[in-house]
Chain A
Amino acid sequence: DIVLTQSPGTLSLSPGERATLSCRASQSVSSSFLAWYQQKRGRSPRLLIYGASNRATGIPDRFSGSGSGTDFTLTISRLEPEDFAVYYCQQYGSSPWAFGQGTKVEIK
């Protein structure tokens, strides 16, 4: 099974700053089948990025994804107040469709 490790566990930043979140897989993720989700407290997850670098419908262009193989990155170019949340990566190239443990982006 593929294991996803996200880092850092918590990212403390101010609005307007750049956020860089990492997701590393224990083995190569086939066809870059890697997604990123945002989850705010008490809310359902929201799809941000699929196929490693494609923004989902309605996602602002300050969110971008990159990477391939075993190393993937989610970048938020300028943090808005509504971006402070927990972010999860998920691989869907092979069963089971594992999630990373999450990165919390908090206000500094």
Chain B
Amino acid sequence: EVQLLESGGGLVQPGGSLRLSCEASGFSFSDYAMNWVRQAPGKGLEWVSGISGSGGTTYYVDSVKGRFTISRDNSKNTLFLEMNSLRAEDTALYYCAKYMILFGGVYDASDIWGQGTMVTVSS
């Protein structure tokens, strides 16, 4: 069964840091691009960042550029999101999602989603 399991969320003070992880199983992880999507409480979906299968190409929404870093460890089937200088507006449920096409890039829809990990930025 194809599965994505996020972890690493929690409560952090403004200006703090967190590292989210997403462990993948049931598919050849390195063959697929991946992304992070977040959802603030009671709000809609917001795409945050994407990464190619090799990890060599990354993309970010403007609001997180310079603060967040997406990366992956294909030997451990794990996707990461390093979040620094966190702000109240970063409070959200963070989903890890797999892009659909085998050997495709990030110009793709997401067909598998994790359950999400909650990040709360508050003093």
Contacts and interface: CB of A to CB of B under 8 A. Distances in A.
Given A44-B95, A44-B115, A50-B100, A33 B107 contact: yes
Contact of A95 (B59, B95, B116): B59
Contacts, number: 64
Interface string B60-101: 111000000000000000000000000000000001010010
Contacts of A93: 107
Interface residues of B, number: 24
Contacts of B116: 44
B53 to A, nearest CB: 16
- Greatest chain B CB density within 10 A among A46, A56, A96, A98 is at A96
Given A97-B35, A97-B47, A99-B46, A92 B115 contact: no
Interface size class of A (residues with CB under 8 A): 20 to 34
Contact of B44 (A92, A95, A96, A99): A99
20 contacts: A44-B95, A44-B113, A45-B45, A45-B110, A47-B111, A50-B111, A57-B111, A88-B44, A90-B47, A92-B106, A92-B109, A95-B59, A95-B106, A96-B61, A97-B50, A99-B44, A99-B47, A100-B44, A102-B44, A102-B45
Nearest to B111: A47
A63 interface: no
Interface string A80-105: 00000000101011011111111000
